[in-house]
Amino acid sequence: MVLLVPDDIPAGQNVTEGNVEEMRALYKDWDPRIPKLLSLCESVYKWRLCIRPGLEQWSHPSGAFILLGDAVHATLPYLASGAGMSLEDGAVLGELFARQKGPFSPRRKKQLLDIYQKIRAERTETIVERGNTQQYLYHLHDGLEQEERDRVTRAGEPGDALAWKDRGFAPFLLGWRCEEEVDRLWKEEREDGGKVQSRLEYCDFLPVSV
């Protein structure tokens, strides 16, 4: 169980042992089911959430290795999308390397990894930024901003604090198709003008080694 509250962890620490009674006190006036659930907790830890800038380059110049997931685009947990972004990363790498026929030259490996970053970087940056926005929206104190947030949510307008029903964002978050993006970039990044396949190839399991 994860509870999100303002940070009071001492400087220089990211994880520290918490106090169960302090935790329960923070939620004592919530829906009665919440305090009842928290009464069953025997121990708790505090874990600082950090915002980390993304990296400009995701792969080594040699093409020997590539970063993916939280290693390159760490996100706050407010969209529950960190694991999903990692799976998308892996799916894109699988699509790219499945298309390569014949041996891999170091140059070709680096080309494929650059395509991978081009496909993924803008999308993951947008999702990280939206996660940061969700933190702000979820922790508004009572007042005019909170009232406007709630009005937008009730009306179902773009900018809905419930991102999964935000008509301006949910299709982007949940409806993205990695194979379509790979298909588009693959055609743009032909190697030496060679003919490439426009249709995707699928396999049950694809071990990827770069």
pLDDT tens per residue across span 10-33: 888 999 999 999 999 999 999 999
Flag whether pLDDT at 170 surpasses 90.
Answer: yes
Return the pLDDT at 64.
87
Flag whether pLDDT at 90 surpasses 80.
Answer: yes
CA 75, CA 128: separation in Å to the nearest integer? 5
CA 57, CA 181: separation in Å to the nearest integer? 20
Return the pLDDT at 190.
59
pLDDT tens per residue across span 94-139: 999 998 887 778 888 888 999 999 999 999 999 999 999 999 999 9
Question: What is each CA distance from 170 to 83, 101, 173, 176, in whole angstroms?
Answer: 17, 36, 5, 10
pTM: 0.80
Both tokens of 5, joined, read 């509250």
Question: What is each CA distance from 177 to 55, 62, 89, 106, 118, in whole angstroms?
Answer: 24, 29, 12, 28, 15
Flag whether pLDDT at 184 surpasses 90.
Answer: no
Scan for tokens 């290693």, then name that residue: 71
Burial-class residue 167 by CB neighbours within 10 Å (0-12, 13-18, 19+).
exposed
Return the pLDDT at 1.
82
Return the pLDDT at 189.
65
